[in-house]
């Protein structure tokens, strides 16, 4: 990506910064490569978890 912006190979700090800003947050970029979301408690079990939590804490 940096090579597309600077074909000569001499990139300045500003060039590197602009490419990093274009890529976005590292966690979001990793999620795109992963292809699926990571959950501590998945959507299928969330309602059951919340109900159990309410019963235990009540």
- Total-model pTM: 0.51
CB 15 within 8 A of CB 23: no
Question: What residues of the chain score a pLDDT lower than 50?
Answer: none
Instruction: Name which of 48, 28, 46, 26 is nearest 37 in CA terms.
Output: 28
Q: Which helix (H) or strand (E) holds 5?
A: helix 2-5
């Amino acid at each position: 990506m940096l090579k597309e912006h600077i074909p000569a190979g001499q990139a300045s700090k500003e060039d590197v910064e602009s490419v990093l800003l274009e890529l976005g947050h590292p966690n979001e970029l990793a999620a795109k490569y992963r292809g699926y979301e990571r959950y501590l408690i998945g959507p299928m079990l969330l309602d059951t978890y919340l109900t159990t939590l309410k019963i235990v804490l009540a």
